[in-house]
Structure 1
Amino acid sequence: MKILVIWRLLTVGGVNAGWRNRAIYFKKYGITTDFLYSKDLGGMHMIQDIATVYLTNDKKKIKRILTENHYDVIIVVDTSKAYQWLEEANYSGPIVVEARTPEIVKLHRNLKGVEKNKPYTFVVPSEYQKRVLSILINQETPIEVIHNGIDPSLFRPIEITSKSDPLLPPDKKIVAYIGRLDVRKNWRLMLKIAKVVSKEREDIQFWVIGGAKSVERDLFEAEWKRLDLTDIVKWYPVIPYHEMPEIYSKVRQSGGCTLATTLAESFGNTFIEAMACGVPVVAPNVSSIPEIVEHGKTGYLFRENHVRGAVEQIYKIVDHPENYQSLSTLSTERVENMFQLSHCAERYIEILKEVKRADEK
């Protein structure tokens, strides 16, 4: 079987991390995965070594890709232009639509034109996202919840022996913010939290991982400096995906945690990556996050946009080393039980086979 995944943005983020893992797993079952993106935002290194990647906005090239490769199934991820491309290429094969955008207004825009190419099914990564999508679509089309899966051979607790950056400072607990620097990820709240901590503690350091090509990179840098946080908040704009298990393991070794301040998530790959490496998560109690992070077991949740609440949850982790091992163990166990790549990818393979059989009838 040969499939094509169409998405606009080649980012260093959860969608592409999830698809990288799936493509590797699919290959074991004779499924070849190609990718078509419109814009590279720093994620090419995540995909190029495991699949054929097309990066273009040229309609003629896109039409040639769609007509000459004879795909068995095409998967469209939050890309409204794709429906026009498929129509212009006279593509008549089956379509699966992945709806990943958690904001309903943006999701509605991303689905524009989907009615012209009736999909076999919709795929979403969480029950929360299923509820959001169900508001917008014809209920006759099924919605399948398939979590992002994680490769346990890559993301696991490891002992740190290298002296590569970022270096663990002595006697400091690390709180890592991982991801884009934009409005939805809510980096401004993260800096407010760091400012409070800087006034109260000297044993905590924040790491900001990522953001090299984020839309608000310059705004973040200006605010980071304006708040005089360059000592307590260290910024590492580019960390290759394959080095992330080492980052998480450094956080775990310090007795720290990851911190999310996002306004909404349809899933959140960094949560399961951290947990797989034995790192507790502190995150807002919004959207899909309570489906992933168990409050008091694999981390702690705080009320949305509540600075003091977030600070107190961080302190619960870093000030109670006697509970840390329990949090760490329960985190890895939850990933093993719910978010193993084999569990999540197997169901996707079943759907692809169902789609192909239906199309051949």
Structure 2
Amino acid sequence: MKVLFIYYISSGGVETLNRHRNAALTQAGVECHFLYKMQGTGHQNLEGIRTFVMNNPVEISNLIKREKYDLIVVCSDDKMLEPIKRSGFEGILIFEVQGLGNHRTAQRFFVQNGRHINRYADAILLPKTHHLVKLAQTYLPKLPRFSFHNCFDSNAFTHKSFQKSPLPIIGWVGRIEKNKNWQTYLEIGRRLIQKKHMIKLWMFIDDTLYERSQYQLFLKRIEDPNLKNHLTIFKNIRNDVMADYYSKIADSGGIVCSTSKVEGFGYTLVEAMSCGCPVLTTDSDGVKSIVQDAKTGIYMKNGQLADAVNKAEQLLTNETLRVKLIRNARVNIKSRFSLNKYATEFMKMYNSLRK
């Protein structure tokens, strides 16, 4: 069996998902190819994975004809569905939903593109994210729908030992855009420093993908003298190296903070947990499958900074709580997001559509 996964750009959560599901499906005997229309910063992570970068419809059509795929999964780029069908592709064509931003943006996407997806896709695939499942039920009620958890190779991406940092580190990973809510992270850090907590702030960003107005605000904000001496910005770090940084955060007695308004999934939290980092996060829908409050992580109330700072202080100072969260989080990741489970669900989907 041969599968092609298509996405806009080799960057972000979908690029991470593709690497992990390549590991899952390869173990199950599936040959996976990946096509990105643009090369992003995540391309540096794709060593040893059959990957194409092309945007020309004729080249894409020729690739599909040459490779004779059994199944093609198009993620988020609904405009790719029609040309694939018109190219003469006779296999199964699945439209996958990941992310799509906040609730309003996601709903607008389904309203504008639902008819198009329904016409050309054979089925829809999406993670177990409540608002995405509900929108798919509403706007694509007749299309076969498959919803199962994304996967994660916790054996490959795990804790490593380094010299301990003398100060706790609070980490944040994301793009500089409104939905990622980076300003809340910096304000939490500023207030902790104001309360005399001796901490470091580490931000991991992609400086090639951002909202221009947000990035200008960001550049001004990080010049705040109350933050500047505590803050380090890391740009475009290779994914395998991120395990090193998460491990350093964990061993420092620090935490990873996620401030997103809405997430389709949340690979940042999974990666952090796999390396032993306690996590503080907003209840951004997609993280519900990852974080159970006070069991595998801690929720902060969105928009309530006093609550966020209080929860951060608990995680920094309560060693019993930290140990419990770290242990439970690792168990949850290994059981819920295993490669074997993903491969099993994926093959069930394929076999049901072949009939």
What is the aligned length? 346
Structure 1 partner of 2:135: 132
Structure 1 partner of 2:295: 297
Which of the two has greater helix per residue?
A: 2
Indicate the SS of the match to 2:268: helix
1:114-193 aligned at under 5 Å gives the runs 114-119=117-122, 121-128=123-130, 129-137=132-140, 139-160=141-162, 169-170=165-166, 172-193=167-188
- Judge conservation of contact 1:279–1:331 (CA < 8 Å) in 2: no
Q: CA RMSD in A?
A: 2.0
Residue 25 of structure 1, CA deviation: 2.4
Structure 1, unaligned runs of 5 or more: 162-167
- Judge conservation of contact 1:194–1:233 (CA < 8 Å) in 2: no
- Judge conservation of contact 1:122–1:143 (CA < 8 Å) in 2: yes
- Judge conservation of contact 1:174–1:251 (CA < 8 Å) in 2: yes
Separation in 1 of the partners of 2:155 and 2:194?
40
Structure 1 partner of 2:198: 203
- TM-score after normalising by structure 1: 0.89
Q: Match of 2:142, as an amino acid?
A: E
1:110–1:51 CA distance, 2 compared to 1 (3 A): farther
Structure 2 partner of 1:164: none
Separation in 1 of the partners of 2:165 and 2:275?
20
- Judge conservation of contact 1:66–1:91 (CA < 8 Å) in 2: yes
Q: Match of 1:210, as an amino acid?
A: I
1:31–1:254 CA distance, 2 compared to 1 (3 A): same
Separation in 2 of the partners of 1:118 and 1:152?
32
1:340-355 aligned at under 5 Å gives the runs 340-355=338-353
Q: Deviations along 1:53-93, whole A, 9 cap, x unmatched?
A: 22122122122122222110010100022113213413232
Structure 2, unaligned runs of 5 or more: none
Residue 219 of structure 1, CA deviation: 4.0
Question: Of 306, 309, 319, which aligns to 2:307?
Answer: 309
1:38-117 aligned at under 5 Å gives the runs 38-47=37-46, 49-100=47-98, 101-103=100-102, 104-105=106-107, 107-108=109-110, 109=112, 113-117=116-120
More divergent stretch after superposition (255-264 vs 32-41):
32-41
Separation in 1 of the partners of 2:228 and 2:347?
47
1:319-338 aligned at under 5 Å gives the runs 319-338=317-336
Q: Deviations along 1:107-160, whole A, 9 cap, x unmatched?
A: 3256562122132x32211241312322221x2223222212111222223322
4+ runs of 1 displaced by more than 4 Å? 109-112
More divergent stretch after superposition (235-244 vs 339-348):
339-348
Q: Match of 2:2, as an amino acid?
A: K
Separation in 2 of the partners of 1:229 and 1:110?
43
1:111–1:75 CA distance, 2 compared to 1 (3 A): farther
Q: Provide the identity percentage.
A: 22
More divergent stretch after superposition (193-202 vs 300-309):
193-202
Indicate the SS of the match to 2:139: coil
Indicate the SS of the match to 1:229: helix
Separation in 1 of the partners of 2:39 and 2:196?
39
Separation in 2 of the partners of 1:3 and 1:219?
42
Residue 102 of structure 1, CA deviation: 4.6
- Judge conservation of contact 2:129–2:265 (CA < 8 Å) in 1: no
Separation in 2 of the partners of 1:72 and 1:136?
27
- Judge conservation of contact 1:298–1:331 (CA < 8 Å) in 2: yes
1:18-29 aligned at under 5 Å gives the runs 18-29=17-28
Q: Match of 1:5, as an amino acid?
A: F
1:102–1:143 CA distance, 2 compared to 1 (3 A): farther
